[in-house]
A and B are shown apart, each in its own frame.
Chain A
Amino acid sequence: MPTSYYLVISAMLFTIGVLGVLVRRNAIIIFMCVEMMLNAANLAFVAAARDLKLMSGQVFVFFVMTVAAAEVAVGLAIIVALFRNRATIDVDEVNLLKY
């Protein structure tokens, strides 16, 4: 299969992720969309690595997954803390820091 197919899939996933982050209000959903964007990037990495016959792209994916795991831990912790304080995870309700 040509590499461009993988890249198209990756771009679609990324775009869906961005749109999800921008339009949804539920923090968990936004969070999932962020993960989707990360995995779109991962897909682009491995596709390009295979195409160019380089290992570094593959290695990067591991790094991204590691960082994503750490980020999930922190992000979920924030969401839990938010829920405990405000009894909601709607990001539009969390609007104290503004002009």
Chain B
Amino acid sequence: MPLYLIVLFPLLGFIINGLLGARLKKPLPGIIATAAVLASFVVALLNVLRLASLPEDARRITETAYTWMSVGDFRVDVSFLLDQLSSVMILVITGIGFLIHLYSVGYMQDDHNDPEGRLYARYFGWLNLFIAFMSVLVLADNYLLMFVGWEGVGLCSYFLIGYWFKREDAAEASKKAFIMNRIGDFAFLLGMMLLFVSTGTLKYFGDSGAAGNATQGVLDVARSNAGAFSAVGLAGLGGITLITLLLFIGAAGKSAQIPLYTWLPDAMAGPTPVSALIHAATMVTAGVYMCARSAALFELAPETRLIIIVVGALTALFAGLTALAHNDIKKVLAYSTVSQLGFMFMGIGAGAYIAAIFHVFTHAFFKACLFLGAGSVIHALHGEQDMRKMGGLKAKMKATNITFMLSGLALAGAAPFAGFFSKDEIIAGVWNYSGEYNSIYKIIALVGLVTAFITALYTGRQYAQVFEGKARDEHLHDHAHESPSVMTVPLWLLAIGACFAGLLGLPHLPGVPNLHAFTDWLTPVFSVQADASHAAAGTGSHNPGATLMLLLVGAVIGWAGWFMGRSMGTRQGERAVLPASTHNLSLDAVYNATFARGGLALSAALRWIDDNIVDGIVNGIGGFFGQVSSALRLTQTSFVRNYALGMAVGAAVIIALFIINR
């Protein structure tokens, strides 16, 4: 099965729903879209099995669809690459994407924002287009094609956040998301240009053709000839540091890191399944994927990784605190996503790429499940999102309750659920880091533990506030009902993932069962470039004592935080845990004061220039000719003799000139 089919199926679904969707009856567009993603998942699965059947050092399938552009030495193919890393991502995208499509069929059935169902087909069309672009992003074999997917998912995110475009908050949020992403995209583009300048290609890997015929990709150059990047250094920054920093800014925009994260909480204005798919499970992890893909570059730049890990830790900590302060069920999850993305970047910063990707993998399950569970609650309560009005839903919504609890435990990092292993692996990776700036990494690891505790705290609080205790709004509670099975089946499947996905990557410790499939699968991608200590950091195996300690501490704080959070949630149902001023670090206010006000002042100044100088020149020219011609008009006297005199005098002057200049 060719790889391009993975992209083609959802694209076909998009075309069908986009062109004919308006004529199809509910829920046919949803079924078409879901089937398209399922087909895509099957193709992906078959291809991954084919990949797994190859010998370990040759696991790389490349397929070229066609040459996109070829200018001189610069050539970009639309070609797809499936290796261990992209196989994990593509399975997550199509697999979880399929479950969320399925859920959406139920969720969007009765849309109170769109009672006539005019937008229904559009929703599924965009969701399909998103899957297609996301597949391009992870399957691309060069940075430019990845950028196509990168921009495409940003576009679909814009469409879907603003899906209910008649609601002002949704329209504003979609614009905000798009514009903030542009900042990151700009940096990504610059980084890509510098990569091209220094290596002459944008492919990840070259072709290993016959001797003398072999070409090198960007990552090959990074491994064999690190000096190639020094040419593009700028103002004291080494070339590789500059490139990786630009790439990281790009990743920070897409993956909502400080200071570019403020769009993600606002993005919750979109439909809840969209938040689950795009703003939790897949698109926002694209930045992590990009950094992991470029690991060979980041390995060369310890300074950049220090910045990444500090940014990641700060994001994780502050977003976690913010999640504790919010009362909107989706906002809590949104900040939690930002926080978990911070964890993933901590893994990248520590060189624990496998742990970061592992967290992407487990996070996709439990966070998608939490979002869909929240969607189920919102669905049952007719659009109510304020957790202060919930409570006591345990008995009414059994399936949602159990799945939410299981995935909540996974998020909290309670052993032995999925999030426990992946989060702990990251913290262990940071703790065991043994390169430059060693001591800072130790502090970061402690910050990670604190953040893990906060995570457990707000997750427990949220669960208790929504499902436990007594109903705080009788009216809402009376009308609550369990969602249809088209919605609960995906919940169950995701909850199973949230419970057991962690078992794919147990830590390498003596006495632990030999379940390291995930780590073993990914090791070849990263081990060839990382030196021994980093490879070990990825698995946390070279310091078993510390790793074991961290595991135990992690398990304790996971459960402790969960129970403390629960009592907090039931006890202080209505009161906020933290003052409202912590809602989003006031970063929005800062941006308003600097960029928005500054932009307005600048545009006012430019407008003055336009009104007075540019228009002055233009109108002045017009006015000048107006004046001159109204003066000259008076010569049109209607007396033929005057005209004749003009001609005679003119002729006389010309003849006189000829005579003088003879």
Contact = CB atoms under 8 A, between A and B. Distances in A.
A91 interface: yes
B644 A22 contact: yes
Given A91-B640, A92-B639, A99 B633 contact: yes
A98 B637 contact: yes
B645 A22 contact: yes
Contact of A21 (B636, B638, B639, B644): B644
A55 interface: no
Contacts of B639: 91-92, 95
B662 interface: no
A96 B638 contact: yes
Nearest to A18: B648
Contacts of B641: 21-23, 25, 91-92
B634 A99 contact: yes
A95 B638 CA distance: 5
Interface string B85-96: 000000000000
Interface residues of B, number: 11
A97 interface: yes
Interface in A70-95: 91-92, 94-95
B644 A97 contact: no
Contacts of A23: 641
B636 A22 contact: no
A94 B641 CA distance: 11
Interface in A1-33: 18, 21-23, 25, 30
B638 A22 contact: no
Nearest to A25: B641
Interface string A23-66: 10100001000000000000000000000000000000000000
Contact of A99 (B636, B640, B645, B648): B636
Contacts of B636: 97-99
Contacts of A98: 636-638
A22 B648 contact: yes
Interface string B293-315: 00000000000000000000000
Contacts of A91: 639-641
Contacts of A30: 640
A48 B57 CA distance: 103
A38 B639 CA distance: 22
Contacts of B638: 94-98
Interface in B616-652: 633-634, 636-641, 644-645, 648
Interface string B203-214: 000000000000
A3 B636 CA distance: 41
Contacts of B637: 95, 98-99
Nearest to A24: B641
A68 B302 CA distance: 97
A30 B639 CA distance: 13
A95 B639 CA distance: 6
A96 B648 CA distance: 23
A97 B639 CA distance: 9
B271 to A, nearest CB: 69
A91 B641 CA distance: 8
A83 to B, nearest CB: 16
A22 B649 CA distance: 11
Contacts of B634: 99
Contacts of A96: 638
Contacts of B644: 21-22
A18 B651 CA distance: 12
A31 to B, nearest CB: 12
Contacts of A97: 636, 638
Nearest to A98: B638
Nearest to B630: A99
A97 B636 CA distance: 8
Nearest to A15: B648
23 contacts: A18-B648, A21-B641, A22-B644, A22-B645, A22-B648, A30-B640, A91-B639, A91-B640, A91-B641, A92-B641, A94-B640, A95-B637, A95-B638, A95-B639, A96-B638, A97-B636, A97-B638, A98-B637, A98-B638, A99-B633, A99-B634, A99-B636, A99-B637
Given A25-B641, A91-B641, A99-B633, 13 more contacts: A21-B641, A22-B648, A30-B640, A91-B639, A91-B640, A92-B639, A95-B638, A95-B639, A96-B638, A97-B638, A98-B636, A98-B638, A99-B636
Interface of A: 18, 21-23, 25, 30, 91-92, 94-99
Q: What are the 5 closest A-B residue pairs judged by CB atoms, nearest first? A: A98-B638, A95-B638, A99-B633, A99-B636, A91-B640
